[in-house]
Structure 1
Amino acid sequence: MRETVTLAHVAERAGVGESTVSRVLRGEGAVSEKTRARVRAAVRELGYVPNRIAGTLASAGSKLVGIVVPSLANVVFADLLRGASGALEEEGFQPVIAVSEYDADREAAHVAGMLAWRPAALMLAGLEHADETRVLLAGGAARVVEVLDTDGEGMDIVVGFSNAAAGHASARHLLARGYRRFGYVGHDLVRDTRAAKRLKGFEAALAEAGLPPPEREVFSAPSSVELGRDGLERLLARARGLEAVYFSNDDMALGGYFMCLSRGVAVPERLALFGYNGLDVARLTPQPLATLRTPRVAVGAIAARLIGAGAPAQKVDVGFELVPGATA
Structure 2
Amino acid sequence: MKSKDRLPDKKSKVTVREVALLAQVSETTVSRIMRKEGSVANETRERVMNAVRELGYVPNRLAGSLASLNTNLVGVLVPSLQNIVFPEVLRGIQAGLSGSHMQAVTSVTDYDFATEESMVRGLLAWNPAAVLVTGLNHNEATSRMLRQSSGRVVEMMEVDSEPIDVAVGMFHRSAGYETARYLLQKGYRHFGYVAHDIGPDRRARLRHEGMAQALSEAGLGFIAESRAETPSSIGIGKVMTARLLERAPDVKVAIYSNDDMAVGGVFHCMEAGLSIGSDLSIFGFNGLEIGRHLPQPLSTMRSNRFLIGKTAIEQILQSPERPAEPVRIDTGFEIVEGATA
* TM-score scaled by length of structure 1: 0.91
Residues 1:116 and 2:125 aligned together: yes
Q: CA deviation at 1:144?
A: 1.2
Please tell me the residue identity of whatever aligns with 1:320: F
- Classify 1:196/1:15 alpha carbon distance in 2 versus 1 (closer, same or farther; 3 Å): closer
Count of aligned positions: 325
Give me the CA root mean square deviation: 2.6
The answer to which of 302-311 and 73-82 deviates more is 302-311
Tell me if the contact between 2:169 and 2:331 (Cα under 8 Å) persists in the aligned partners: yes
Contact 1:48 1:139 (C-alpha < 8 Å) held by counterparts: no
1:186, 1:248 within 8 Å by CA — same for their partners in 2? Answer: yes
Is 2:4 the counterpart of 1:10? no
1:179-227 CA deviation, whole Å, 9 max, x = no partner? Answer: 0000000011111111111111011110011112341100121000000
Aligned match of 1:184: 193
Give the deviation of 1:63 after TM superposition: 0.9
The residue aligned with 2:134 is 125
Contact 1:4 1:141 in 2 (8 A): no
Matched with 1:251 is: 260
Contact 2:14–2:56 (Cα < 8 Å) also in 1 = no
- Separation in structure 1 between the aligned mates of residue 263 and residue 14 of structure 2, nearest angstrom: 50
How far residue 9 of structure 1 moved from its aligned partner, in angstroms, is 6.8
Tell me the distance in 1 between the aligned counterparts of 2:165 and 2:69. 23
- When structure 1 is superposed on structure 2, of 55-64 and 238-247 the one drifting more is 55-64
Contact 1:250 1:275 survives alignment (8 Å): yes
Structure 2 distance, partners of 1:327, 1:221, is 25
* 1:271 and 2:277 correspond: no
Structure-2 residue corresponding to 1:25: 31
Q: Which region of structure 1 is more displaced relative to structure 2, 278-287 or 85-94? A: 85-94
Which residue does the alignment assign to 1:237?
246
TM-score, normalised with respect to structure 2: 0.88
- The amino acid that maps onto 1:158 is A
How far the C-alpha of 1:23 sits from its partner, in A, is 5.0
* Local SS of the residue matching 1:98: strand
CA contact (8 A) 1:7 1:21 kept: no
Measured at CA, do residues 288 and 56 of structure 1 come closer, stay the same or move farther in structure 2, by a change above 3 Å?
farther
What is the percentage of aligned positions where both structures have the same residue? Answer: 43
- Counterpart CA distance in 1 for 2:291 and 2:193 is 18
Verify: 1:322 aligned to 2:340, yes or no: no
Partner of 1:69: 78
**Structure 2: runs of 5+ lacking an equivalent:** 1-8
Distance 1:13 1:158, change over 3 A: farther
1:142 aligns with: 151
SS in 2 for 1:233: helix
How far apart, CA to CA, are the structure 2 residues paired with 1:34 and 1:270?
60
Question: Which one of 287, 291, 294 corresponds to residue 285 of structure 1?
Answer: 294
1:62 is displaced (CA, Å) by 1.8
Does the aligned pair in 1 maintain the 2:192–2:251 contact within 8 Å? Answer: yes
For residue 60 of structure 1, report the CA deviation from its aligned partner: 3.5
Distance in 2 (alpha carbons) for counterparts of 1:55 and 1:146: 31
Amino acid at match of 2:263: L
Distance 1:23 1:189, change over 3 A: closer
Query: 1:87·1:304 contact (CA, 8 Å) conserved in 2?
Result: yes
Q: Is the CA contact 1:76–1:296 (under 8 Å) kept in the aligned structure 2? A: yes
Change (3 A) 1:128 1:37: closer
**Deviation digits for residues 59-96 of structure 1 (CA, Å, limit 9, x no counterpart):** 34321110010001121000001101221243321100
Q: 1:220 to 1:38 in 2, by over 3 A?
A: closer
Deviation at residue 135 of structure 1 after TM alignment = 2.0
Q: CA deviation at 1:41?
A: 4.7
In structure 2, do the counterparts of structure 1 residues 294 and 34 end up closer, same or farther at CA, with 3 Å as the change threshold?
closer
With 179-188 and 3-12 compared, the bigger mean Cα shift is at 3-12
Kept after mapping to 2: 8 A contact 1:147/1:299:
yes
